[in-house]
Amino acid sequence: MTTTVQDQDRQERAANATIERSAAYYRLKADVEDFYYHEADLLDDRRFRDWLELLTEDVSYFMPIRRNVKFGQQAARENTKRGEGISWFDEDKWTLTKRVEQILTGVHFAEEPLSRITHMVSNVQIGGARPDIGTARELDVTSRFLVYQNRVEYETYIFVGRRNDTLRLTDAGWKIARREILLEQNILLAKNLTTFF
Amino acid sequence: MPLRNDLDQLVDVKGGFISREIFVDADIYRQELDKVFTRAWLLVGHESLVPNPGDFYTSRMGEESVILCRDKKSEIHVFLNSCRHRGMKVCRYEQGNASLFTCPYHSWTYTTDGKLQGVPLHRTLYDGVLDREANSLVSVAKLCNYKGSIWATWDKDAPDFLTYLGDAKIHLDQALDCRDGREGGSEVIGVHKWVFPANWKFAAENFLGDTYHNPSHRSVDLIGIGPSAAAGKKGRRDDELEKAEHVWISFPAGHGVHSAIQPEANEYTESFLDNPILEKYFRHCFEERKRRLGEGARLLPFVGTIFPNTSYHGRQPRGLCAWHPHSPTSTEGWRFFLVDKDAPKEAKEYLRRYYMRYSGPAGMTEQDDMENWLYATAASTGTVARRYPFNYQQSMGAYVTDHPLGGDVSKQVTEQIARGFYRRWTTYMQGGDWHELLGSPAGKRQAAE
């Protein structure tokens, strides 16, 4: 388990390597953007069960807590780590499914009545393609998100940050195999995180 | 500002009515910071956050930033995080290791035991005037490392922490002691910090044995998220207390708990069915605890609040919360998640995942709490709403005062604990002495000790 996490972290760093901006790159990028827009539609249309279908069975969904650390320690200590201690989310598909089931009970009062939510996705870049850009079955993709939530009457929250994804091509199209959500906040400035990112 | 008499009218414990003013009024809030939060013992952190000399962890007491720090000699301190010169925070990192705290403003430096060390151009500008000793970082008046949890008070006249806890001690112990009954031995595996728009007392009261709010967690109970949920059990935790006699206790110093007493046979209730390794481990802990504590092992915790703003979850999940006031209608919640330091890796791994899905702003259970606290606070700010006090008449008089556990013990869900909490809150607000604050006018239990 530990080895896997470390391997994946190495992959993440490798994802920063620049891929040549070829026609194949831009075709693939357009596919990925389309995928993200579809994902945002599913979430904002509250089609949560359909959204779960976009996640691989072995998905890892992670949102670290961001901490104020001394200069030079950012890489090592700024974010809580996947697979250890406490983060905002460090989840598998079982837990994410539970979250969806909870909303669908109709008595999850933190989402009843449902919030109005819009997901914006931008700055999409492919950082890694395996086996290669022409025949990619797995991609490392970075993006930015802006999530607007309005709840009941006056409650409004804006969540802004970055996502580092690994997408996997399946018979049903691209799926999210791994997601890291970097919310640009230290102390969470929202009473709840009831939405998916 | 409300006068003594006004406060007695706002908090009518006998009649069971408490004014909404105390949850929304700005003057009352300012007074709370002065009269409650500078006197009561407050949770600051945990020794596992500062394991080595020079380690620090920035925390809060009331609205103010403090530094929890282990000095070069390994002694733990708590200081106000504010330079004695112009007040700049001398530490803006959450956690780390330092040999000195250097103020970014004019570069005054302080050692890890709080002493003012460096003052730029000292000889030219301050020679013969500046008394370094008198300009140390402001230290708390008293500090206690209780089984690893760090508590402090600004009041030099405050009683020692154990006296302050009184009979609530053995209940808090249930959160701090090892699962197999050994004393202490916990560590913090992470901290949640978030801000929610509600008065801090809603959170404190929620953990004061307000078991009555259970229906608000219906969604999570329907789907099941506990340690046996994957094995098909509903609910948000294993029902370890299904055969137990539940007790709700109001302690004279304002603390309150919901605990439970297992039947004499005290048999293990199947739990952690999702994972055979954990099932075996927690069964072992249960038997070991029984062997160690004997009769005492029959007491199991649920939740509690140590006056004024520290709450705990004793079993599933397990942690300490500090409800830091931000404004009359805003609170910063901190939750320190606890595990046994020497628990097997599998147990720690499982528990951290369970804690995350249960607790805090991303937790499936507590999201619904936050929703309640927010809208209860917001709906109490209205001019008309404020004319109508909250009803606190639940289970009036339904308690005994001669139970071996001490305090007012109720066998049914009760707001006696909340009434006790606000009675003591009033004593603080009226500037009571420590004899009154401990709630021992007859000196009964005190004398017995």
Q: Give tens-digit pLDDT for B133-174.
A: 999 999 999 999 999 999 999 999 999 999 999 999 999 999
pLDDT at A73: 92
Fold classified for A2-183: Nuclear Transport Factor 2; Chain: A, (3.10.450)
3-state secondary structure of B238: coil
Does any CB of chain B come closer than 8 Å to the CB of residue A110? yes
Nearest-by-CA chain B residue for A68: B93
From chain A, pick out residues whose CB is under 8 angstroms from the CB of B230.
94
Contact criterion met (CB < 8 Å) for A110 and B371? yes
How far, in Å, CA of B423 to CA of B208, rounded? 14
Out of B95, B198, B361, the one facing A190 most closely (by C-beta) is B361
Could you tell me the pLDDT band of residue B443, with boundaries at 50, 70 and 90? very low
Helices A93-104 & B345-358 angle (0-180, nearest 10): 30
| A13-17, B10-14, B17-21: range with lowest mean pLDDT | A13-17
Are B225 and A98 inside 8 Å of each other by CB?
Answer: yes
- At B102-126, the pLDDT tens digits run 999 999 999 999 999 999 999 999 9
Q: Where are the alpha helices (DSSP H) in B11-134?
A: 21-24, 26-35, 122-125
pLDDT at B448 (0 to 100): 40
Q: At residue A33, does pLDDT exceed 90?
A: yes
The closest CB to that of B362, out of A107, A111, A193, belongs to A193
Q: Which chain A positions have a beta carbon within 8 Å of B352's beta carbon? A: 84-86, 90
Note whether A4 contacts B: Cβ–Cβ < 8 A. no
Q: Cβ contacts (< 8 Å) between A147 and chain B: which residues?
A: none
CB-based contact A86 B356, cutoff 8 Å:
yes
Of B335, B318, B302, the closest CA to residue B171 belongs to: B302
> Which strands form B11-12's sheet, in the order they lie side by side?
B11-12, B17-18, B390-391
Quick one: DSSP state of residue A189?
A: -
The residue extents of the domains of chain A are 2-183
Q: How far apart are CA B248 and CA B412, in angstroms?
A: 7
Q: What is the mean pLDDT of residues B363-378?
A: 92
Q: Is B116 left (phi over 0), alpha (psi -120 to 50) or beta?
A: beta
Which pLDDT band holds residue B440 (cuts at 50, 70, 90)? confident
A81 lies within 8 A of chain B by CB = no
CA of A86 vs chain B CAs: smallest distance (Å): 5
Alpha carbon B214 to its chain's center:
20
Tell me the chain B residues in contact with residue A4 when contact means C-beta distances shorter than 8 Å: none
User: Is the CB of B222 less than 8 angstroms away from the CB of A105?
Assistant: yes
Nearest CA in chain A to B371: A110
pLDDT value, residue A11: 54
B294: Cβ contacts below 8 Å, ≥ 6 apart? none
Q: Do B362 and A86 touch (CB under 8 A)?
A: no
Q: Is the pLDDT of residue B418 over 80?
A: yes
**Tokens (6 digits) for B380:** 């109490």
Residues forming beta bridges with residue B313, ordered by sequence position: B303, B319
Give kind and range of the element (H or E) at residue A42: helix A23-44
What average pLDDT does range B299-303 have in this prediction?
A: 95
What was the pLDDT predicted at B209? Answer: 85
A–B CB contacts, 8 A cutoff, strictly below: 119
Interface of B with A (CB under 8 A): 92-96, 189-198, 216, 218-220, 222-225, 229-230, 332, 337, 352-353, 355-357, 361-362, 364, 367-368, 370-372, 374-375
With both helix axes pointing from N to C terminus, report the angle between B276-293 and B345-358 in degrees, rounded to the nearest 10: 100
Residues from chain B that touch A191, judged by Cβ atoms under 8 A, are: 194-198, 361, 370-371, 374
Of B197, B223, B353, nearest to A102 by CB-CB distance is B223
The one-letter code for the residue type at B281 is Y
Residues in chain B: 449
Q: Does residue A4 register a pLDDT over 60?
A: no
Is residue B441's pLDDT more than 90? Answer: no
Residue A68, pLDDT > 80, answer yes
- Assess contact for B324 and B192: CB atoms under 8 A: no
Answer yes or no: are the C-beta atoms of A157 and A5 closer than 8 Å: no
Chain A closest CA to B61's CA: distance in Å? 16
Strands A55-63 and A173-183 turn out to be parallel
The secondary structure element, H or E, covering residue B356 is: helix B345-358
pLDDT greater than 90 at residue B320: yes
Residue B224 token pair: 């099941």
- Chain B nearest-CA residue for A189: B195
Name the residue in chain A with its Cα closest to that of B360. A192
Q: Using CA atoms, how far apart are residues A183 and A162, in angstroms rounded to an integer?
A: 7
Query: B318 burial class (0-12, 13-18, 19+ CB within 10 angstroms)?
Result: buried
User: Considering only CB atoms, which chain A residues are within 8 Å of B65?
Assistant: none
- The residue of B46, B194, B373 whose CB has the most chain A CBs within 10 angstroms, and thus the best one to mutate to test that interface, is B194
- The helix-helix angle for B416-429 and B26-35 (nearest 10°) equals 80
CB contact under 8 A, B190 and A87: yes
Domain ranges of chain B: 43-143, 166-448
Distance from CA of A20 to the nearest CA of B (A): 39
CATH of domain B43-143: 2.102.10.10
Interface test with chain B among A188, A193, A195, A196, by most B beta carbons within 10 Å = A188
SS (H, E, C) A48-79: HHHHHCCEEEEEEEEECCECCCCCCCHHHHHE
Of residues B276 and A6, which shows the higher confidence score? B276
The predicted model gives A134-144 an average pLDDT of: 97
Residue-averaged pLDDT of chain A: 93
Question: Homologous superfamily of B166-448 in CATH?
Answer: Naphthalene 1,2-dioxygenase Alpha Subunit; Chain A, domain 1 (3.90.380.10)
Residues ≥6 apart with Cβ < 8 Å to A90: A60, A61, A62, A63, A82, A83, B352, B353, B356
Using a CB–CB cutoff of 8 Å, tell me whether A49 touches chain B: no
| CA dist., res. B191 & res. A142, Å (int) | 27
* Residues of chain A contacting B218 with CB distance shorter than 8 Å: 105, 107
A94–B230 C-beta distance less than 8 A: yes
Whether chain B has a CB inside 8 Å of the CB on A13: the answer is no
- Distance from the B290 Cα atom to the nearest Cα atom in chain A, whole angstroms: 29
Counting residues of chain B whose pLDDT is more than 90, the rounded percentage is: 93
- Give dist(CA A144, CA B159) in Å, integer: 53
* Contact assignment for B364 to A101 by CB distance below 8 Å: no
| Section B210-228 average pLDDT | 92
Average pLDDT, chain B: 95
